[in-house]
Amino acid sequence: MAKTLIRRMKDLPSTHLFGSGTPMCAGCGGLESLHQIYEILGPRTVFVNAAGCMTLLAIYPFTPFRGSWLYTAMASAPAGAQGIRDALDILLAQQRIGADEDLNVVVLTGDGSANGMGLSATSAAMERGLDFLYICYDNEGYGNTGQQFSAATPHGARTATSTGPHGFGGNKKDLFSIWAAHKPAYVATAIGAEPVDLARKVETAKQLKGPRLIITLAPCPPGWDFDPRDAADIGKLAVKTGIWPLKEYIDGKVVHSKIPHPRLPVEEYLKTQGRFNHLFQPQRDEALLAEIQDSVDRYWDGIAV
Amino acid sequence: MYRIRFHGRGGQGMKTASRVLGTAFFQEAFQVQDAPRYGAERRGAPIFAYVRASRTAINERGVINHPDLVAIADDSLISAPAAGVLQGIGPRTVMLINSHESPETWQHRLNLDNTILIVPAEDAVTDRADLPFAGMVCAGAAARLVGVIGREALATAIREELHTHGSGLVDRNIETALHTYDLMQDHANAVTEGTEISAKSYASPQWIELPLENAGSAAPSIHAAATSTLLKTGLWRTMRPVIDYDHCSHCWWVCSTFCPDSAIRVNEEGVPEIDYDHCKGCLICVAKCPPHAIEAIPENAAKAREEKAHATKTPDR
Amino acid sequence: MQPKLLTGNAAAAWGARLARVDYVPAFPITPQTEIIETLGRWIEGGQMPGRMVTLESEHSMITAAGAAAATGVRVFTATSSQGLLYGMEMIYTVAGWRAPFVLINVSRGLASPITLEPDHNDVLAARDSGFLQIHCATCQEVLDSVIMAYRIAEDPRVRLPIIVNLDGFYLSFTREPVEIPEPKSVADFLPAYDPESTRFRASSPNSQAVAVLGGAPYSYFRYESHLASLNALDVHAEVAGAFAQQFGRHYEAVEAYRCEDAEIVFLMIGSFATKAKAAVDRLRDAGEPVGLVRPRLLRPLPAKELAQILAGKQAVAVIDQNISVGMGGMLHAELASALYGKANAPPILTSFIGGLGGRDISPEEFYEIAAITRKAAQSGVIPPARLLYTQEEYREVQKLQAIAHAERHEMGAE
């Protein structure tokens, strides 16, 4: 098992490597986690990006990265990572570059690419045992196009394409389990609102070889409809209500890194966001609230504490 | 043809302002074109929208390069070249500014002889939900300045454009727009229809033969680190977080870690410093600071405070 | 050196081996598969260094190819038909990265209906992408073109990826005598790839393929690719000269066969052009002054060379093994645009669509095309575009239709 150095808040880095000045929204939960991740990964990285909000991190001639970046397309960022990793390995093997020139290859996509169009490429990269880290910022919808529902949208959420009285009728895809079923080196869920947990997971992933994947829940002020200042508080509530379990798949086992106790009612989380307004106004949708609470309860009932 | 550009920030209702004015013109039997212009940036970033109106069919398209009226919902954008507020302004372009300052101050500051009209800005907006009214203030004033839109057409346009919102919000918008409409009474017809570019005498477009350049620089690649810091996203801010150092507990990490924009660093003494060039004003730091040592104050108030502090300091020099 | 009998696919694989490619991202598709099987066998058997990875799709394969090229290694990949179309988003995308590599396309008709046999609609769908295109007529040309393609694509004045095209079946599975150059001579001709600043290294940050906002930077980057592509005309001439010196085989951007005194000229690309060549010889035997023009380089389009070669001819018969649905033959349109307004341009261009989905073109058909075109030159009246299709073929299809309909009837559908 990997050893991590970050155990408490004081261990977190306080100087920032990730460049400011990006066009991400004020209060972006995805950026909140990415800048924390970047502190630990550092500039010896090449980020391979798929179409999504974060495609706009680098707009010519401005980039927030101190290392490297390649934009590919929505469906094939893991294949881009494959090409770069293989090319670097070839260059290393032929001694055309020294180990000091090597880079960590990191895929960065949103939930739209990760759960949908890019899932085939991700599955194949895992099956090939590609040595890479995949960061998915999950804002639970196609955020860059105005928050239409994606395969990661939670049940009941209102999106630009689920505007009915009960919001999104489908259920959030269990990407963690889909990834874990491939038996990669590492899978974790995390969130920028729990920086120590996130940092520890990135540190762990960084020390492992093979496919490593982290999903960070990314509270999205315009997409979820809340005031940007609440982004971190909403993130914390996602964890405290048990809606966003923080966990790791490592050495073939799933372990929860933080078990909310006591678990707050889900509505403490839901009521903070305009996308769930219809659950409370004009009158409470008790059936849907109970359904959401029940699915969270059933999840945690299945977890041996 | 009337050519009108609205400048503001994402979230200030610029698209709605352009649609309200467009619909009001349409009510008055004009041919109309209105459109917002989106970039990569998000809420708080400078954006613009535009309206064309003519008695005959409109064949022109795209961004307005020679505006008859530029309506500015947020005066902090004027000095930012990236916002493009002053782009294509000619001697007869009227400027309408939502501002606390006088027309003379702006004329002096911009070194322009243009007609500059002021709609007095609301006292600092502290609630983000109130931001869109900045657009409505401009739409109402613009409707009067062109002199061809009646009060009723304006109110109808607002009802039409905001019909999906509650009646309370519609009424408040109508009230806001009609208020500035009436304020501009003395300036009705200040904005006149612009002329077309003559095909007889015009400035050559100055085409060049694009040179073939080295593939390394002719590919969309950036061979430099963290160039994004050159972009001053602090411009997006409407509220400014200010640290009260007397109450800061030097926790080391909270504000700096949660800040999505890497805009708070902690120096060697454990003191956090906010980089206002890049702070977008999300105020997560205000929400998360354990001893509540970070206060949010409206950006103009903060600027005024800054200027005052500067003024009192200068004599000591 | 003694020539060997090689298929077009084997010749393509030999080209990659001799070019000392580092990396082969792959995905199987008929009729290309033999290329990657051959390379895979050589790499596993240690006869060839390099690394092959099988991706899960052509979209990923082309992404990996572009990404590896952008990291600074020499990349080879191959596909066909539906595969090329499945990867088409990335064909356009990676071309803009200005990271050179070679992609073999083994031409095969496109769905629908799905088929295995060749025509050129697949590769011509990539016509406007930014990839350069070389079209081969023989297995020898396939091998030689792969080697030349690296030198052209990697030239600092070009830096664009390149497609080398060969026809499915007619070349891919067909053996011909092919001279395999000595590795040492190839190494002399084709030096190691220097990626210059187009690479990923820890010591120097590089954000590649970033977004742009606004028409000015977008137009700049797109047009720079166009200028670089046009530059490949001169670079091809230089490289072809050096290749001829080293290996004794000369390739022009446009092959002109018995054109000097020709009055009527056939224009074709790919392996069927050798059929046209045979027809030219027979027509000459019959006293007809006919020639053949075969653009080898299709992107960049050697428009000047075409205009020069065809100046003063009475008529050109363009035989397109493709169809732009709703327009007609693509090469016909391309040639018309290359000749329009040029001094002494042939006044008559006739258009023939043939060879779709592997449909053969017979010698008699070439003779008839020449006769029709000569008649058009004499009368000044251009006949409508013609599909090469016989009464017998139509009868065959009617028989198939009868079965198709009878089955429906028996199943109770009608």
Predicted ipTM of the assembly: 0.96
By Cβ distance, the residue of C204, C221, C228 closest to B223 is C204
A14 interfacial to chain B (CB closer than 8 Å): yes
Instruction: Mark yes or no for CB contact B220/C223 under 8 Å.
Output: no
Share above pLDDT 70 across residues of chain B, in percent, rounded to a whole number: 95
**A285: distance to nearest CA of chain B, Å?**
21
Q: Which chains touch A (3 or more CB pairs under 8 A)?
A: B, C
| DSSP-derived 3-state class of residue B214 | coil
Interface test with chain C among A18, A59, A90, A106, by most C beta carbons within 10 Å: A90
What distance, in Å, lies between the first and last C-alpha atoms of chain C? 66
- Identify the band that residue B9 occupies on the pLDDT scale cut at 50, 70 and 90: confident
- Which chain B residues are closer than 8 Å to C225 by Cβ? 218
Comparing A141 with B313, the larger pLDDT belongs to A141
> Which residue intervals of chain A are DSSP H helices?
29-41, 77-93, 111-112, 119-127, 175-180, 195-207, 231-240, 267-270, 286-301
In chain B, which residue's Cα lies nearest the Cα of A29?
B260
Which residues touch C382 (CB under 8 Å, ≥6 apart)?
C348, C349, C350, C376
* pLDDT for B313 beyond 70: no
Residue at A4 is within a domain: no
Q: How high is the pLDDT of residue B265?
A: 92
In chain A, which residue's Cα lies nearest the Cα of B39?
A23
| Amino acid at residue number C174 | T
Share above pLDDT 70 across residues of chain C, in percent, rounded to a whole number: 98
**C352: distance to nearest CA of chain A, Å?**
39
Share above pLDDT 90 across residues of chain B, in percent, rounded to a whole number: 74
Using an 8 Å CB-CB cutoff, list residues of chain C that contact chain A.
Answer: 22-23, 25, 50-51, 53, 55-57, 59-61, 63-73, 75, 89-90, 93, 200-203, 205-213, 217
> A157-192: b or e for each residue (b if 16 or more CB lie within 10 Å)?
bbbeebeeeebbeeebbebbebbbebebbbbbbbbb
| Per-residue pLDDT reduced to its tens digit, B260-312 | 999 999 988 889 999 999 999 999 999 999 999 999 999 878 888 888 887 77
Residue from A54, A18, A70 nearest A220 by CA: A54
Could you tell me if A188 and A206 are in contact, meaning their C-beta atoms sit under 8 angstroms apart?
no
Report the Cα A239 to chain-centroid distance in Å: 14
Q: How high is the pLDDT of residue B317?
A: 41
Q: How high is the pLDDT of residue B81?
A: 82
How far, in Å, CA of B99 to CA of B96, rounded? Answer: 9
* pLDDT for A305 beyond 70: no
How far, in Å, CA of A175 to CA of B171, rounded? Answer: 46
Question: How does DSSP classify residue B222?
Answer: B
Q: How high is the pLDDT of residue C407?
A: 59
Residue-averaged pLDDT of chain A: 96
In chain B, which residue's Cα lies nearest the Cα of C229?
B212
- Identify the band that residue C102 occupies on the pLDDT scale cut at 50, 70 and 90: very high
Q: What token pair was written down for A64?
A: 């927030």
* A304 burial via Cβ count (<10 Å: 0-12, 13-18, 19+): exposed
Boundaries of every domain in chain B:
2-187, 232-316
Residue found under tokens 């200010």: B242
Instruction: Mark yes or no for CB contact A23/B45 under 8 Å.
Output: yes
A195 interfacial to chain B (CB closer than 8 Å): yes
Residue at A238 is within a domain: yes
Residue from A67, A78, A79, A104 nearest A89 by CA: A104
| Amino acid at residue number B101 | E
Instruction: Mark yes or no for CB contact B220/A60 under 8 Å.
Output: yes
Residue-averaged pLDDT of chain C: 96
Instruction: Mark yes or no for CB contact A14/B287 under 8 Å.
Output: no
Instruction: Mark yes or no for CB contact C57/A44 under 8 Å.
Output: no
Q: How high is the pLDDT of residue B316?
A: 47
Instruction: Mark yes or no for CB contact B278/A29 under 8 Å.
Output: no
Give the residue numbers spanning the domain of A247. 25-301
By Cβ distance, the residue of A14, A24, A63 closest to B253 is A14
Residue at A17 is within a domain: no
DSSP string covering B115-142, please?
-EEEEEPPS---SGGGTTHHHHHHHHHH
Q: Give me the residues of A, 93-132, that contact B with CB < 8 A.
A: none
How far, in Å, CA of A164 to CA of A161, rounded? Answer: 9
Residue at A250 is within a domain: yes
By Cβ distance, the residue of B210, B212, B221 closest to C231 is B212
* pLDDT for C412 beyond 70: no
| Per-residue pLDDT reduced to its tens digit, C291-339 | 999 999 999 999 999 999 999 999 999 999 999 999 999 999 999 999 9
**A277: distance to nearest CA of chain B, Å?**
15
CB atoms closer than 10 angstroms to residue B259: 29
Interface test with chain C among A76, A96, A105, A120, by most C beta carbons within 10 Å: A76
Could you tell me if C195 and C187 are in contact, meaning their C-beta atoms sit under 8 angstroms apart?
no
- Identify the band that residue A298 occupies on the pLDDT scale cut at 50, 70 and 90: very high
How far, in Å, CA of C29 to CA of B313, rounded? Answer: 76
Question: How does DSSP classify residue C59?
Answer: H
Pairing of strands A68-71, C207-208: parallel
In chain A, which residue's Cα lies nearest the Cα of B45?
A23
Fold annotation for B232-316:
Alpha-Beta Plaits (3.30.70)
Instruction: Mark yes or no for CB contact C198/B222 under 8 Å.
Output: no
Q: What token pair was written down for A110?
A: 């949103």
Q: How high is the pLDDT of residue C264?
A: 98
Cα angle, residue C96 at apex, residues C91 and C102 outer, rounded to 5°: 55
In chain C, which residue's Cα lies nearest the Cα of A64?
C207
How many Cβ contacts (< 8 angstroms) between chains A and C? 151
Instruction: Mark yes or no for CB contact C98/B225 under 8 Å.
Output: no
Taken in order of first residue, the domains within chain C and their CATH numbers are 4-247 (3.40.50.970), 254-392 (3.40.50.920)
Could you tell me if C25 and C59 are in contact, meaning their C-beta atoms sit under 8 angstroms apart?
no
Q: How high is the pLDDT of residue C294?
A: 98
- Identify the band that residue A6 occupies on the pLDDT scale cut at 50, 70 and 90: confident
DSSP string covering C172-219, please?
TT-EEEE----HHHHHHHSPPP--TT-S-BTTB--EES-B--SHHHHH
- Which chain A residues are closer than 8 Å to C23 by Cβ? 83, 86-87, 90
Q: Do domains B2-187 and B232-316 have the same CATH topology?
A: no
Residue-averaged pLDDT of chain B: 91
Could you tell me if C118 and C42 are in contact, meaning their C-beta atoms sit under 8 angstroms apart?
no
Interface test with chain B among C227, C233, C234, by most B beta carbons within 10 Å: C227
Interface test with chain B among C224, C225, C227, C233, by most B beta carbons within 10 Å: C224
In chain C, which residue's Cα lies nearest the Cα of A67?
C205
| DSSP-derived 3-state class of residue C255 | strand
> Which residue intervals of chain B are DSSP H helices?
14-27, 103-110, 133-145, 151-161, 167-183, 254-258, 284-288, 299-313
β-strand partners of C23: C51, C75
| Per-residue pLDDT reduced to its tens digit, B185-235 | 999 999 999 988 999 999 999 999 999 999 999 999 999 999 999 999 998
**B157: distance to nearest CA of chain C, Å?**
32
How far, in Å, CA of B22 to CA of C239, rounded? Answer: 61
**B261: distance to nearest CA of chain A, Å?**
5
* pLDDT for C1 beyond 80: no
Q: How high is the pLDDT of residue B123?
A: 65
* pLDDT for A17 beyond 70: yes
- Identify the band that residue B120 occupies on the pLDDT scale cut at 50, 70 and 90: confident
Integer Rg of chain C from CA: 22
Q: Which chains touch B (3 or more CB pairs under 8 A)?
A: A, C
- Which chain A residues are closer than 8 Å to B287 by Cβ? 229-230, 232-233
Into how many domains does chain A fold? 1
> Which residue intervals of C248-385 are DSSP H helices?
272-285, 303-310, 330-339, 363-379
Residue at A11 is within a domain: no
Residue from C60, C10, C67, C65 nearest C39 by CA: C10
Q: What token pair was written down for C371?
A: 């006769």
The alpha carbon torsion through B10, B15, B20, B23 (nearest 10 deg) reads 180
By Cβ distance, the residue of B227, B278, B287 closest to A233 is B287
Residue from B44, B52, B73, B48 nearest B140 by CA: B73
Share above pLDDT 90 across residues of chain A, in percent, rounded to a whole number: 93
Average pLDDT of B48-65?
A: 96
Q: How high is the pLDDT of residue B166?
A: 85
Fold annotation for B2-187:
Pyruvate-ferredoxin Oxidoreductase; domain 3 (3.40.920)
* pLDDT for B126 beyond 70: no
B208 interfacial to chain C (CB closer than 8 Å): no
**A159: distance to nearest CA of chain C, Å?**
27
Percent helix, strand, coil in chain A, to 5, is 40, 15, 40
- Which chain A residues are closer than 8 Å to C53 by Cβ? 82, 86, 128
β-strand partners of C93: none
Residue at A19 is within a domain: no
Could you tell me if B244 and B294 are in contact, meaning their C-beta atoms sit under 8 angstroms apart?
yes
**A113: distance to nearest CA of chain C, Å?**
14
| Per-residue pLDDT reduced to its tens digit, A232-264 | 999 999 999 999 999 999 999 999 999 999 999
Integer Rg of chain B from CA: 22
Question: Domain with A177 in it: what CATH number?
Answer: 3.40.50.970
Report the Cα B266 to chain-centroid distance in Å: 32
Average pLDDT of C89-107?
A: 98
By Cβ distance, the residue of A20, A59, A61 closest to B261 is A20
- Which chain B residues are closer than 8 Å to A221 by Cβ? 43, 282
* pLDDT for C414 beyond 60: no
By Cβ distance, the residue of A15, A24, A233 closest to B42 is A24
Q: How high is the pLDDT of residue A292?
A: 98
Instruction: Mark yes or no for CB contact C98/B215 under 8 Å.
Output: yes
By Cβ distance, the residue of B128, B227, B254 closest to A227 is B128
Cα angle, residue C365 at apex, residues C363 and C371 outer, rounded to 5°: 110
How far, in Å, CA of A159 to CA of A278, rounded? Answer: 12
Average pLDDT of C341-370?
A: 97
Q: Is B84 left (phi over 0), alpha (psi -120 to 50) or beta?
A: left
Integer Rg of chain A from CA: 19
Interface test with chain C among B221, B223, B230, B231, by most C beta carbons within 10 Å: B221
